[in-house]
Amino acid sequence: MQVLNESNGQFTMLTRPVIFTEKVPALGSANCIGLYDFSAYVFGMRREMALEKSNAPGWFEDELSFRMLMRLDAQPTWDSVMTPKNGDTLSPFVTLAATA
């Protein structure tokens, strides 16, 4: 199994990209490693984007600051796991159980 792709320096597992994040529990805990198909995940804008400007942060330097405000929501496109006629259940998001 190739872990580090020499051509671009990206970590891969079985040709899929590996993404490291601090958002998951410690290694060995439940849900510490997952396989995700982000094509089954959708984002929606909950309100229009707003662009604001202000000269307050740079009042003495004659500068403007801008910020963009957005409100987003996201959810899987599947309501539940799929159970085919023959075989195990399927899901676009799978995580590992805790290890002893």
Q: Given this model, what pLDDT does residue 4 score? A: 58
Low-confidence ranges of the chain (pLDDT < 70): 1-7, 57-59, 100
Q: In the chain, what are the domain boundaries? A: 12-77
Q: Given this model, what pLDDT does residue 32 score? A: 87
Q: Given this model, what pLDDT does residue 92 score? A: 92
CA angle 77, 81, 84 (to 5 degrees): 115
**Contact indicator for 65, 57 with CB cutoff of 8 Å:** yes
Phi/psi of residue 38, each to 5°?
Answer: -70, -5
